[in-house]
Amino acid sequence: MDTRKEKFPYGIPGHNLSEVEREIPVEEPPVWPINDKLKVIGKRVTRIDALEKVTGKAIYTSDIKLPGMLYAKILRSNVPHATISSIDISKAKSLPGVHAIHLIENTPKEGEENSTGKYPMVKYVGQPLAGVAAESLEIAKEAVSLIKVNYEKKPFVIDLEAAMELNAPIVFDAPITKQQDGGDVGETHDGSKGEGNVRGPSTSSFFGGPRGNLEEGFKEADVVVERTYRTQVHTHMPLETHGVVVDWNADVMTVYASTQNTAAVRNEMASVFNLPKSKVRVICEFMGGGFGAKHSAGSFGPMAANLAKKTGRPIWLMLDRQEEHLAEGNRPNSIQYLKIGAKKDGTLTGIQQRSHGTAGVGLGAGVGRIAQILYTCPNFATEQYDVLTNAGPGAAWRAPGNVQGAFGLEQAIDEIAEKLNLDPLSYRDHIDTSEVRKVERQRGAELFGWSRRKPAGSSKGIVKKGLGVGQSTWPRFVSLDSSVEIKIHKGGGVEIRSSVQDIGTGTKTILAQVVAEELGLQVKDIKVNIGDTFFPVGPGSGGSVVTGSITPPTRNAAFEAKTALLKLVAKKWETDSSELVMADGQVNHKTNTDLKMSFKEATKLMRTSQISKIASRSDDYGGFQQPWGLAYGDLGSVQFAEVSVNTDTGFVKVDRVVAAHSCGRPLNIGQLESQINGGVIQGVSYALYENRVMDNSTGHMMNANVDQYKVPFSMEIPEIETVIVEEYSGRSSTDAYGIGEPANIATAAAIANAVYNAIGVRLYEIPITPSSILKALSKVS
């Protein structure tokens, strides 16, 4: 590979900005200066689809209407554990308007539990059993209600701790190898180890395994904090439910999907139906939220395709809110034991972590890597166990595991600081080596007014005020399977094409910004066509990878297209293309001011109707951290929370959150703020409101709706202010990274620390409710 050397901005403006020399592929564009010197990048650019969205014109999957389309509904189990002896579909079949019924039957695969019956064993309430396609959704629903399932019920277990007991009903009596949709990266194990319903433990991540010697570490400690923390099951609740519209004709299966991973859905459907990937087209133009639960075609994707096959008609299959809660993912709960030791000077000497959590019938209930890597500590070990229960499978949920882990770790760190009589913020300066979090602590504390913080429990009156802080880290994941096509059309018009989807955070807009910056155009001049697997493959929206993965190839492809166009202009002007620049919609000669031409005129020089360039994500400049293959650096955050606690009624109100974040080179300040707001709101919700309530006697979820499953509305949302720290590291042609997951990790921990500061009693369990506050204050007899 031919390379050249360039100097890149390095570090944090206003703090330690310097330069670093990188060797980069010769075909990649020259370095961008810091955002101050750019025109479109790093600015507040209104999202390009804002008007379509707020006027209701944006077409989401559920809006798709095709000629001859039928509506489908899934029949789900209403018992938590059973074998199915028979299914009677006669009544449903004869209902007028019903076109097809598809039953899910056993197709034993290698490595999966051997099930001898005709139908898969029922393992949770809400498990899909069959699907009906009919002329209307109402008919399909009625037909589903007419299907009679004969169950042979089996004992079941719902509660995490009950499932850990040796005599508990067994959820799976064989090893399970299938990781459910999007479980946490790095914390998974194969589910084959363990006894009863307890599987694991996972003791390592891609950051390695245990370190040092815990026993020695705790011996050296002058102070030790040893606690158990509990977090609840949290369901995703995207506004748009899961679902697809499948249009399967002789040539191609088109799947309109509400998905955060068009390419993965394409691969799954191709694999299930034994089709070449070229004959499956997945389209997601607008996306109504996923939060990690929409990486897969699920069971509804194949169900819709089977019904399409049986009827020869397009099938609309969107889930309802109840199905969403029961079967389409959740953040597993946790019981986390944490022991931390420190010397008098604050130096950490040991961190021991042991966790149990249940992702229902799935795996992936670990508590992440945050205790392993956030602070320097020579002695560390973790054991993270999965416990199987008869409940819907968990799924990745905005920083899987790490949100639970941060809730424990960041409270324990505060307790250590208190034992050492240190301010929790300055204590973190002592034990945290991250330069970016140091700046975030400084700038965040100033905006937040951390100096107002008083000793815990010293707030006077019935309503007590408290301030707290929590930190987080998230890796800079990059997907190298990311590519983009840029087309410049003769006579004007620039187009971006990739299968990457916009999960709703504004991916379309940042891609347009990158191309506009490179071509000296305006964002409105760029047409973004993404979310279609007929275009070059892009990454899934998971792991906060999208921005870091897809913006460099976008810039690279735009640069290649620009270079091709400039060569034509250079030929006409009899000069060298390196003497030409594109800016303000013009092609200009660097020195000869007489030579200028509009971008549109320039495109008329093209011999063919378009210039098309495809670029892929190259390796990070400077390589990857070995042996893990991760990008260098992290996505650090520090969040500050201010709460009011009514000590008479037990109600907690989060008044204000200051969220200080970094994501390399920020691309669009407004969109970043929106995404951080979203993460903070979900964090507030996790700390105070949301909780999946299961009845242990029937195995049913009692609040599988929007009425009793409490997400915050406008009045519950605090004042949120963001601090975005620019951090340059010269790792790609854009040097930009995502913010999705970091925005959600530290909030609940910061709130818990603030509640402690307010009332002087620490809560080790979320959600924090009037009941838990009044109990903590000994006001409940």
Partner 1 sequence: MNKFSWYEAKSVEDALEQVNSTLSDELYEPTQKASVFKSGGIDVFDWVKEGLLKPQKIINIRNIPGLDQISYDRKEGLHIGSNVTLAEIASNPEIKSQYLALHQAVNHAATPQLRNVSTLGGNIAQRNRCWYFRSADHDCFRKGGDRCFARHSETGENENHAILDNGTCVSVHASSIATALMAFNASVVIANAEGKQKTVQMDDFFVSAGEDIAMENILQAKEIITEIILPPPSKNTKSAYIKQVARESYDWSLADVAVVMEVSGNTCKSASIVLGAAAPVPYRSVEAQQAIESKTINSDNATAAAKAAMTKARPLSKNDYKVPLFVSTIKQTILEIA
Q: Mask 56-95, x = binds partner 1 (CB under 8 A)?
A: ----------------------x-----------------
Q: Is 760 in the site for partner 1 (CB under 8 A)?
A: no
Q: Which residues share a beta bridge with 98?
A: 134
Q: Is 583 in the site for partner 1 (CB under 8 A)?
A: no
CB of 78 vs partner 1, minimal distance in Å:
5
- Residues 452, 437: Cα–Cα separation, whole Å: 21
- Residues 114, 120: Cα–Cα separation, whole Å: 10
Strands 194-195 and 198-202: antiparallel
Q: Which residues share a beta bridge with 103?
A: 130
Indicate which single residue of 710, 760, 761, 762 sits in contact with partner 1 (rule: CB under 8 A): 710
- Residues 47, 722: Cα–Cα separation, whole Å: 19
- Residues 407, 752: Cα–Cα separation, whole Å: 8
**Residue 447 tokens, joined:** 């905006």
Count other Cβ atoms within 10 Å, centred on residue 442: 18
CB of 320 vs partner 1, minimal distance in Å:
10
What's the Cα-to-Cα distance from 740 to each of 374, 661, 712, rounded to whole Å? 18, 11, 19
CB of 167 vs partner 1, minimal distance in Å:
16
Q: Is 698 in the site for partner 1 (CB under 8 A)?
A: yes
Instruction: Say if residues 159 and 389 touch (Cβ distance below 8 Å).
Output: yes
Q: Which helix (H) or strand (E) covers residue 287, if one does? A: none
Nearest CB to partner 1, comparing residues 451 and 708: 708
- Residues 744, 678: Cα–Cα separation, whole Å: 8
Q: Is 241 in the site for partner 1 (CB under 8 A)?
A: no
CB of 488 vs partner 1, minimal distance in Å:
48
Among candidates 585, 631, 683, 504, which has minimal Cα distance to 50? 504
Please work out, in degrees rounded to the nearest 5, the angle formed at the alpha carbon of residue 524 by the alpha carbons of 519 and 528: 80
Q: Is 16 in the site for partner 1 (CB under 8 A)?
A: no
Instruction: Say if residues 295 and 397 touch (Cβ distance below 8 Å).
Output: no
Binding residues among 96-135 for partner 1 as defined by CB under 8 A? 125
Among candidates 673, 664, 626, 399, which has minimal Cα distance to 549? 664
CB of 771 vs partner 1, minimal distance in Å:
4
Binding residues among 324-363 for partner 1 as defined by CB under 8 A? none
Residue whose token pair is 């087309």: 487
Nearest CB to partner 1, comparing residues 159 and 619: 159
- Residues 355, 229: Cα–Cα separation, whole Å: 9
Nearest CB to partner 1, comparing residues 637 and 685: 685
Q: Is 771 in the site for partner 1 (CB under 8 A)?
A: yes
CB of 64 vs partner 1, minimal distance in Å:
23
Residue type, 359: A
* Span interacting with partner 1, options 29-37, 520-528, 598-606, 708-716, rule CB under 8 A: 708-716
Nearest CB to partner 1, comparing residues 227 and 700: 700
Q: Is 700 in the site for partner 1 (CB under 8 A)?
A: yes
Indicate which single residue of 138, 152, 161, 226 sits in contact with partner 1 (rule: CB under 8 A): 138
Q: Is 651 in the site for partner 1 (CB under 8 A)?
A: yes
Q: Is 165 in the site for partner 1 (CB under 8 A)?
A: no
Q: Is 53 in the site for partner 1 (CB under 8 A)?
A: no
Q: Is 656 in the site for partner 1 (CB under 8 A)?
A: no
Residues that contact partner 1, how many (by CB under 8 A): 36
CB of 764 vs partner 1, minimal distance in Å:
17
**Residue 90 tokens, joined:** 């006669």
Q: Is 167 in the site for partner 1 (CB under 8 A)?
A: no
CB of 680 vs partner 1, minimal distance in Å:
17
Q: Is 321 in the site for partner 1 (CB under 8 A)?
A: no
CB of 279 vs partner 1, minimal distance in Å:
38
- Residues 506, 48: Cα–Cα separation, whole Å: 8
Q: Is 770 in the site for partner 1 (CB under 8 A)?
A: yes
Q: Is 761 in the site for partner 1 (CB under 8 A)?
A: no
- Residues 366, 185: Cα–Cα separation, whole Å: 10
Instruction: Say if residues 547 and 631 touch (Cβ distance below 8 Å).
Output: no
Residue length of the chain = 781
Where on the chain is the footprint of partner 1 (CB under 8 A)?
A: 78, 125, 138, 141-142, 145, 648-651, 689, 693-698, 700, 702-703, 707-708, 710, 712-716, 769-771, 774-775, 779-781
